Structure 1
Amino acid sequence: MANYQTLDLKQDNDVLEVTLNHKNGTNPVSNTMLKELIQLADWLRESKEIKYVIFSNSGRFFSVGADLVEAADNFNPAEAQSENIRRMQIVGQEMMRKLETLEQITFAAIQGSAYGAGVAIAMTTDFRFMTESSVFNLPETNVGLFLTWGCTPRLVKSVGAVKAKELIMLCEDVSAKECLQLGLINKVVSEEKMMEEVYQTIEKLRRKGSLSIRLTKKLVNASVAPNFGDIFINETELVERVALSGEPAARMNEFLKSKGK
């Protein structure tokens, strides 16, 4: 099992716990984390021992979203930098596809709020649990972007077009209770009961036919996949176009300045 800079791994028989542990528990989704999640997915694809994967977090946040300190260095109107941004969008899309299509049954144990790219990681999982005080937030338009990595069609499939526009455009906190009502998560649990709830669900799954569970995951995923192709192709070009406008760079720098970074 490999060592990672942004992920802590712990295996317990057929369960792998993956803890996001990056930058003092804020867990920004940096280029390094993206690449390590892809490496992890490639390893899991070859693993015959691991049947269940739990994504959790250290610190107060599941993830604060994309690493804006890193992104602000790239998001400027310079053509070379915008091409790099387009390539990193492809990496983000690859991360989403690889995690979403793992044959293992995956869980997001969200113990703290999730923003932007953190919500994206949670959206790749099969079961999602949030603590009572956690929130989801999609802050992309606050920094001059739109929801990328193929997350927009995933969100529309989950909550419908009208609600998806609201969540993306207004960038407002969505409570755990509302996430449950919208169908974005499976359960709201106390922080103390989080891992117990996850392992109880795993025990229920173990009592089912493993082949039928695996095929069910694939059939459900296939049922919501139509028309993703054109979005994956065009989305990277749109991000590059937005970068060339200069708006993301200006807004990211304003945000970082307000935070004293």
Structure 2
Amino acid sequence: MGMIKSEIKDQIATLTLNSPPANALSSKLIEAVAEKLDELEKDNTAKVIIIKGEGKFFSAGADIKEFTELDHAEAYQALAEKGQKLLKRMEYFSIPIIAVIHGAALGGGLELAMACHIRIVTEDAKLGLPELNLGIIPGFAGTQRLPQYVGVAKAYEMILTGTFISGKEAVQLGLANKAVSEDKLEEETMKLATKVAEKSMSSIHKVMELIPFAKTSQFEQGSLAEAKAFGEVFGTEDAKEGVQAFLEKRKPNFQDK
């Protein structure tokens, strides 16, 4: 079955992240998502894609253990660029992607959700970019996408404090389209996906080509700068301490070095 379960029914494709316990966005999971997108593009029968998480979470972050295995700025920068490449591909994909978020979408998990075209959340889901709690920064274009949804001031607040917002708040801020109770999540998702799947494929593809023009060229530069900064931050003592503290489930002791 692998890290992603996939099925297509009535021109609706469902991809389920299946990498327990947290569906953390590791290099392997990034590759698995990319492979599934290749398959769906080739198959050309799906008019809409649903992406959701198995278990307790949509995706509770990037794979922190993987971070500890890398040893120089270039390796971290390459990891960030690999994640960014997949998310850019999703954002510019010819088939609309709906992220269905329950439990939590944090760090890399929220960055993945933000690259989707529509987000449906449970009312009490937790969303956030908590990287600064670990002495690191977002690396999958989180610093570039979050302000586009919630505005600059709220993005500063969320990223600098590392705190979470609820699914309900995410809708109020424009980060999610709709918040529903957990028991209604599947039904509401299918309702929305079915409405999209009823449209003609060529008109869907045209819309998917056109809306991304609304993005500024600054986005590209900002994302490259973020990947470079991600690599640089990992060279600091505070990053080592923050990641170690996270793995040991204790509060980090930052020295500002």
**Any unmatched runs of 5+ in structure 2?**
251-257
> In 1, distance between residues paired with 2:25 and 2:175?
20
> In 1, distance between residues paired with 2:186 and 2:43?
23
Structure 2 residue 207 is matched with structure 1 residue 216: yes
Give 1:181 deviation, angstroms: 0.4
Which amino acid is 1:240 matched to? G
1:46 corresponds in structure 2 to 42
Structure 2 residue 76 is matched with structure 1 residue 63: no
169-178 vs 230-239, which deviates more? 230-239
Superposed CA offset, 1:114-151 (max 9, x none):
11111011111122111122110211111112222222
Number of residue pairs matched? 250
RMSD over aligned Cα atoms: 1.7
- TM-score calculated relative to the size of structure 2: 0.91
> In 2, distance between residues paired with 1:38 and 1:204?
26
Which amino acid is 2:45 matched to? E
Structure 2 residue 23 is matched with structure 1 residue 33: no
> In 2, distance between residues paired with 1:214 and 1:195?
25
98-107 vs 235-244, which deviates more? 235-244
- TM-score calculated relative to the size of structure 1: 0.89
Structure 2 residue 3 is matched with structure 1 residue 12: no
Superposed CA offset, 1:20-72 (max 9, x none):
11123x21111111111122222223231121111111111111101112212
Q: 2:98 aligns with which of 86, 101, 107?
A: 107
**Any unmatched runs of 5+ in structure 1?**
none
CA contact (8 A) 1:13 1:49 kept: no
2:166 corresponds in structure 1 to 175
Runs of at least 4 residues off by over 3 Å: 206-210
Q: 1:149 aligns with which of 123, 140, 165?
A: 140
CA contact (8 A) 1:157 1:224 kept: no
CA contact (8 A) 1:35 1:91 kept: no
1:127 corresponds in structure 2 to 118
Give 1:89 deviation, angstroms: 1.1
Structure 2 residue 238 is matched with structure 1 residue 247: yes
